[in-house]
Amino acid sequence: MKVSSIIAAAGLIAPAFAGDKGYGNDKGKKLVTQKELVKDIKLKDLLAGAQKLQDFANANGGNRAFGGGGHNATVDWLYKTLKATGYYNVIKQPFVELFTAATIDFSVNGVEYPASYMTYSPSGNATAPLVPVANIGCDAADYPAKVSGNIALISRGTCPFSQKATLAKAAGAVGAVVYNNVPGPLGGTLGGVGDYVAIVGITQEVGTTLLDLVAAGEVTATLDVNAIAENRTTYNVIAETKTGDKNNVLVLGGHTDSVFAGPGINDDGSGTVGVLAVAKALTKYKIKNAVRFGFWSAEEFGLLGSYHYLKTLNGTISGSAREVAKIRAYLNFDMIASPNYVLGIYDGDGSAFNLTGPTGSDTIEKDFEDFFKKKGVPSVPSIFSGRSDYAAFLQNGIPSGGLFTGAEELKTEEEAALFGGTAGTSLDPNYHQAGDTVENLSKEAFLLNSQSIANSVAKYALSFKGIPKPSVAHRKREAEASRFMVRFADKVAEEHKGHVHASPCGQGTLLQ
């Protein structure tokens, strides 16, 4: 997925900033309290921040995809805003990745159907008969001679999309369409560049319609994939309190990039703005433990920014396993204002999904639960599926948690009874689409979750009680356990279908 040969030397990282020890530099400020930091979070500030991101998207082709104008404006705004406080050491951490995206037109017998891009698909424009492929298109023998010069229609399943795109090309197809084998749209990735035919994904429902049409006689399809592929430099923004104990650090964050299809104001403008609001509020106070804010880039392309950061922290530039061990906890906020929301908390103790986070993740989950309980609102556990930036931290054995209000999954009757909203409708009907705008945020969820972030940040800025202090060896064991666990996350998510909010935010990371 990553083109590692083009990754530039990572540049500066400076995870541990030299300078102020303890909190002696905060003269005149009072020690932070949970109650006060929560009170400092105001809806009007959150909405103003979300509007800012909307403006960046509007001025740049309607999106904030990494390395494009809308995303660069987001990064610069975060950098300047944090720097201006004087409270943080702020860096922009550069890295280079291949960016791909496309506009797609797909029609059959003159009727347009929605189709999703497969990351790394080449461009292509063909009008030709649609030819179904036998079985699931994982063998060359599945592709009949008639595929040559025509558009192949293939079921999802068993082997990677890249294999299907390669076999279709080898059979002489001029385009390929993969239909889902479960309900819902199908976006994905070919995992890297290759010798592919232009390929898109469609829903199971449209696939069935097209198979019926073909069974009734020859049908003509038009598939136009207009793809961009270019190396882009992009940046994580890292801000760390100048004060506080640098050997006991809280890290929290969200991702700054959107998908190409829309402005990404819930995903993840909401997390970005909620975390930023807490960063600004914190500047009024004295703290005991250092707090580091991570605004990750290129999450939608496969969690690239957060992994890049952990890699540089572990690596030779200025990091080490000891550097990673100073991170006592990581909190992730990716989609916290879904319009048809649930108040989801990552299941750190494994009680709901049996995918337990490193020791201390249970405490982090409980602290979020306690906040909602005190507010008199319900919450539900959300699975650690490994599909947001917390994955990089879990895989390094760092106790993690966070909040998630849901993506394309349908709201259940039970959830509607708990949270209101509409059962049978997506928690975020605009997920990864042009409609993910500032108008479509849930203000209630946005405010409540941002205050919940403030509550946990204030707590850990004072004390990590309940989150064990790790040795390097302990962290290594926890990291191994997490890597092992992640392999089962998809299976568990499948078993709990309809009850978990497992989706990435990066559906584009699906390989088969």
Q: How far is the CB of 237 from Zn ion (least distance, A)?
A: 16
Q: Does 408 bind Zn ion (CB under 5 A)?
A: no
Dihedral of CA 460/466/389/58: which sign?
negative
194, amino acid identity? G
Q: Of 15-23, 45-53, 331-339, 355-363, which part binds Zn ion (CB under 5 A)?
A: 331-339
Q: Of 99-107, 268-276, 312-320, 432-440, which part binds Zn ion (CB under 5 A)?
A: 268-276
Q: Does 428 bind Zn ion (CB under 5 A)?
A: no
Q: How far is the CB of 196 from Zn ion (least distance, A)?
A: 26
Contacts 24+ apart (CB under 8 A), 165-169: 165/118, 165/121, 165/190, 165/194, 165/196, 165/197, 165/199, 166/194, 166/195, 166/196, 167/137, 167/138, 167/139, 167/140, 167/142, 167/143, 168/133, 168/137, 168/143, 168/197, 168/199, 169/195, 169/196, 169/197
Q: Of 220-228, 262-270, 355-363, 448-456, which part binds Zn ion (CB under 5 A)?
A: 262-270
Q: How far is the CB of 504 from Zn ion (least distance, A)?
A: 7
Catalytic one of 299, 300, 365, 408: 299
Residues in the chain: 512
Distance separating alpha carbons of residues 310 and 343, to the nearest angstrom = 28
Residue 371, C-beta contacts closer than 8 angstroms, at least 6 positions apart: 451, 452, 455, 456
Distance separating alpha carbons of residues 32 and 282, to the nearest angstrom = 8
* Rg, the chain, Cα only: 23
Which single residue brings its beta carbon nearest to Zn ion? 505
Helix axes 43-58, 443-462, angle to 10 degrees: 110
Q: Of 181-189, 327-335, 442-450, 489-497, which part binds Zn ion (CB under 5 A)?
A: 327-335
Q: Of 22-30, 50-58, 189-197, 267-275, which part binds Zn ion (CB under 5 A)?
A: 267-275
- Residue from 26, 142, 240, 267 touching Zn ion (CB under 5 A): that is 267
Longest dimension (CA), the chain: 81
Q: Of 73-81, 96-104, 212-220, 326-334, which part binds Zn ion (CB under 5 A)?
A: 326-334
Q: How far is the CB of 256 from Zn ion (least distance, A)?
A: 10
Could you give the string, one character per residue 107-146, with x where binding to Zn ion holds by CB under 5 A and - elsewhere?
----------------------------------------
Q: How far is the CB of 404 from Zn ion (least distance, A)?
A: 9
Strands (DSSP E) found in 215-349: 220-241, 245-255, 289-296, 327-333, 344-346
Q: Of 12-20, 171-179, 261-269, 310-318, which part binds Zn ion (CB under 5 A)?
A: 261-269
Among residues 269 and 319, whose Cβ is nearest to Zn ion?
269
Q: How far is the CB of 432 from Zn ion (least distance, A)?
A: 9
Among residues 147 and 407, whose Cβ is nearest to Zn ion?
407
480 DSSP 8-state letter:
H
Distance separating alpha carbons of residues 325 and 323, to the nearest angstrom = 5
> Do residues 293 and 277 lie in contact, with contact meaning Cβ atoms separated by under 8 Å?
no
Q: How far is the CB of 189 from Zn ion (least distance, A)?
A: 16
The two three-digit tokens of residue 322, written as one number: 């000891």
Among residues 248 and 400, whose Cβ is nearest to Zn ion?
400
85, amino acid identity? T
Q: How far is the CB of 391 from Zn ion (least distance, A)?
A: 12
The two three-digit tokens of residue 67, written as one number: 């390395």
Distance separating alpha carbons of residues 397 and 215, to the nearest angstrom = 53
Size of the residue set binding Zn ion (CB under 5 A): 4
Could you give the string, one character per residue 479-508, with x where binding to Zn ion holds by CB under 5 A and - elsewhere?
--------------------------x---
Among residues 138 and 259, whose Cβ is nearest to Zn ion?
259
Could you give the string, one character per residue 334-353, with x where binding to Zn ion holds by CB under 5 A and - elsewhere?
x-------------------
Among residues 97 and 334, whose Cβ is nearest to Zn ion?
334
Characterize the bridge pairing of strands 88-108 and 111-112.
antiparallel
**Alpha carbon of 79 to those of 276, 305, 307, 433: distances in Å?**
11, 16, 20, 27
Among residues 268 and 415, whose Cβ is nearest to Zn ion?
268
Among residues 250 and 505, whose Cβ is nearest to Zn ion?
505
Among residues 267 and 362, whose Cβ is nearest to Zn ion?
267
**Alpha carbon of 93 to those of 15, 56, 70, 304, 313: distances in Å?**
11, 21, 18, 12, 12
Among residues 177 and 391, whose Cβ is nearest to Zn ion?
391
Q: How far is the CB of 234 from Zn ion (least distance, A)?
A: 15
Q: How far is the CB of 41 from Zn ion (least distance, A)?
A: 21
The two three-digit tokens of residue 215, written as one number: 């069974």
The angle at the Cα of 337, spanning 360 to 415, to the nearest 5 degrees, equals 80
> Do residues 103 and 223 lie in contact, with contact meaning Cβ atoms separated by under 8 Å?
no
Is 300 annotated in the active site?
Answer: no
Q: Does 268 bind Zn ion (CB under 5 A)?
A: yes
Among residues 171 and 331, whose Cβ is nearest to Zn ion?
331
Return residues touching Zn ion (CB under 5 A): 267-268, 334, 505
**Residues designated catalytic:** 299
